[in-house]
Chain A
């Protein structure tokens, strides 16, 4: 009987003093996959696509279609595609790798909590809050970088600390001062919402994928006979969840990117 995976990723072995976690092994495998793909596509001629490039262009076409619906601007879609596309592909592939046989079942017997337990060698990368938080932090940070690049540092800074509003409010005088003070408060709330973005993005993905992993383990371990055909629909469900979570994460980051690069309409 398989043990329900703990919330935290487990250390498999150490390289020097650096602990190697099972989720880190998985994200490295995905990294190698993408490295191979990148090296293969890099050598291809661009104008007349080969089979692999054709396949990729088909994927990109679909991605562009969805992205244009959010950005309403092909130029922005082109600009954000690397970030959003990488997030989507990485989450999708690492989620689907989690369904592979061997992931979660091949492991080392290590002493944990006073007992010797099977610690899986491979654990889906997104069942680790560190991974999802890393992606969320990078995504949100990139949205700020793109935002500053698109509308200028001062204007972007004014979205959060609304110095400009205060100055123009005092120039106009009267009610405008009061409005500016309220706007300033709203700007401060924006800063809080940035942190909330990180929390919601990372916890949503982590929770869904981790829950899926737990669900599969529970179903497989319910009874002896449930280890054979009963998990199949749940595996299909996990394929679906993996795709949906990848889409949700990528789309949300795309929305953040789009919002960050859009200038705020001047308040009166």
Chain B
């Protein structure tokens, strides 16, 4: 079969089935089939769009976003952790230094207080000792004085008793005076 005849036949056939005539008909273009294929492809497009591509790419994208967010969050957390550690260390160092100064201060204050206490106690004891000495001295003097008077009285009484009968008033008085002066000497 020669080619022009073949084309002619094909064209006639196409025209019979509601297709085009001429080159388009030879190539098999046909309105009914074209519309059928458009519908078929549109249905496939819709199915894949609604049930496959949108959900799956959505899931992919969501997961990607989630991972991105997680990584970003992890970075933030890492940074925060580092900051917190740094702050904590700094604070620890600060606290230790403070504790040391407070301890030093306290020790100093305690020592000072101790020294003060000791000095006050010494002072007090000295004072007490001095007062005691004075009291003892005065008491001793007083006692001596009392003893003297007592002795004088005794001597007077004894002497009176002894001398009473042998002496007159005059002599008596003279003698007493003499004795007293002697004693007070």
Contact = CB atoms under 8 A, between A and B. Distances in A.
A24 B17 CA distance: 15
A196 interface: no
Given A30-B44, A57-B60, A133 B52 contact: no
Interface string A43-65: 00011010001001100110010
Contact of A129 (B29, B43, B50, B60): B29
Nearest to A39: B51
Contacts of A42: 51, 55
Contact of A27 (B14, B18, B41): B41
Contact of B41 (A53, A64, A138): A138
Nearest to B36: A24
Interface in A1-56: 6-9, 11, 18-19, 21, 23-24, 27-28, 30-31, 34-35, 37-39, 41-42, 46-47, 49, 53, 56
A9 to B, nearest CB: 6
A143 B13 CA distance: 35
Interface in B31-54: 32-34, 36-38, 40-45, 47-54
B45 A86 contact: yes
Interface string A209-242: 0000000000000000000000000000000000
Interface residues of B, number: 42
Contact of B56 (A41, A83, A113): A41
Size category of the A interface is 35 or more
B33 A61 contact: no
A133 B24 CA distance: 11
A247 B56 CA distance: 21
B160 interface: no
Contacts of B38: 134, 137-138
A27 B34 CA distance: 12
Interface of A: 6-9, 11, 18-19, 21, 23-24, 27-28, 30-31, 34-35, 37-39, 41-42, 46-47, 49, 53, 56-57, 60-61, 64, 78, 81-83, 85-86, 89-90, 113, 125, 128-131, 133-135, 137-138, 206
Name the 6 nearest CB pairs between A and B, nearest first.
A8-B28, A38-B51, A82-B49, A46-B59, A134-B37, A82-B53
Interface of B: 9-10, 13-14, 17-19, 25-30, 32-34, 36-38, 40-45, 47-63
